[in-house]
Amino acid sequence: MRLMITGINGLLSQNLVQEFSDLYEINGIDLNPGIYPADQNIQVTQLDLTHTSELAKHLQTSEPDVLIHTAAYTNVDRAETERDLAFAVNAVVPGELAKLCRDLDIPLIHISTDYVFSGDSGPYAEISSCDPQGSYAESKYAGEQAVLNCGGQVAVVRPNVMYGHGVQLKSSFVAWLIKELQQGRPVNIVDDQYNNPTYARRLATVIHQILDKKAWDLWHFGSKETVSRYTFALNIAHTFGLPSGLINAISTVELNQSAPRPLRSGLICEKVKQELDVPILSISEELELLKEEMNAS
C-alpha cells in the first residue's frame, strides 16, 4: 500500500509519517528536500503543487492508494497582499487534487481550518454556517468546498491552533514558548482568542480512523476545553515546569495584524467521538502526552 502526503516536512505530516510508516510505503511531496533519514525509506519529491500538469503526471506515475493533503499557504497576514497566491495554493490546488484523485480512484483527505468560521459565536460543529474573514480564510474555505463537491472519496478535517512535536519546523507555538520561557524572556500572548487546540499526534490517529472506516465526510478535532491562547500558554508553562509569570496577557488589537482573526472560535468534536470512537482529551492530558513525546525523541 502506498500513501502520498503533500507538505511532508510539516508538523502534521511528520506525525502522519510516524502513524503510517509501518503500514504504508510513503511518498511525500514538498517544495523543500526531505528531512527524513535514509533508513526511514521515505521518498520525497520536490514539486510545486500549482504546476498542475506535473502534479498529474506524478500522481499517475506514483499510483498512491491514499493521498493526504496537508500542504497550504499559511501566512494569514501576508495573504492580504498575496491573495492570488493564497487562492492558487489553498483553493485551486485542492480542487485540482480532488479531481485528479477522483479520476484515478484515490481516496483523499484534505486538511482545512477553523478559520472558515467568523469566530463570533464558537465553538462550531460541522453543520455550523461558515463565514470566512480575510483572504487566507476565504481561500481555505474555497479549497475545502472544492474538495467536498468533487464527487470522489474525500474527507475534510478541520483542526484549530495545531501544535505538537517535530524537527526543522518553520513555526511551532509550543516550541517557541518553551524556548522563550526557558531563557527567561517575557512573552505577550493574546487573551481574547478562544480555541480548543489540536494536538497533531492525536490528529494523525483520527486520520487513521477515517481511512480505516472509509469515513468520507467533514470532521472537527480538538481538545475538550475551549480556552484563550493566554490560558493555553499558562497550561504549557505548568506542564513543562516553566515560569508562568513571564507570560503577559494582551489583546488581539494590540498586535495590529493585517488580517482578522476568529476570536470566539473552537470546534465541537462530538461527531468524531461518537462516529469514530475517538476520545476527546483535556488540554492538560494532551500536553502531558506531548511532554512524553518530546522527552522520548
Distance CA 123, CA 116 (A): 12
Q: Which three cell numbers stand for residue 197?
A: 487546540
C-alpha dihedral over 112, 24, 2, 151, to 10 degrees? -40
pLDDT at 51: 95
pLDDT at 188: 97
Q: Are 116 and 132 in contact (CB under 8 A)?
A: yes
Residues 102-107 have a mean pLDDT of: 97
pLDDT at 49 over 80: yes
pLDDT at 39 over 80: no
| 41-65: burial string, b at 16+ Cβ within 10 Å, e else | ebbbeebebeeeeebbebbeebebe
Residues 47-58 have a mean pLDDT of: 96
In the chain, % of residues over pLDDT 70: 100
Burial class (CB within 10 angstroms; exposed 0-12, middle 13-18, buried 19+) of 21: middle
Q: For residue range 174-183, list pLDDT tens digits in order.
A: 989 999 999 9
Residues 224-241 have a mean pLDDT of: 97
Neighbouring residues of 48: CB distance < 8 A, sequence distance ≥ 6:
31, 54
Which CATH architecture does the domain made up of 2-164+198-222+267-281 adopt? 3-Layer(aba) Sandwich (3.40)
Domain boundaries defined on the chain: 2-164+198-222+267-281
Q: Which three cell numbers stand for residue 106?
A: 484515490
Local confidence band at 99 (pLDDT 50, 70, 90 cut-offs): very high
pTM value surpassing 0.75: yes
Average pLDDT, the chain: 96
What's the gap between Cα 283 and its chain centre?
17
Q: In 10 A of CB 281, how many CB atoms?
A: 16
Q: For residue range 120-130, list pLDDT tens digits in order.
A: 999 999 999 99
| Ranges assigned E (strand) in the chain | 2-6, 25-30, 43-46, 66-69, 108-111, 154-158, 162-163, 187-190, 194-195, 198-199, 218-220, 227-228, 247-250
CA proximity to 6, closest of 30, 26, 22, 24: 30
CA proximity to 133, closest of 76, 59, 89, 71: 76
pLDDT at 122: 95
Q: For residue range 18-33, list pLDDT tens digits in order.
A: 999 999 999 999 999 9
pLDDT at 37 over 90: no
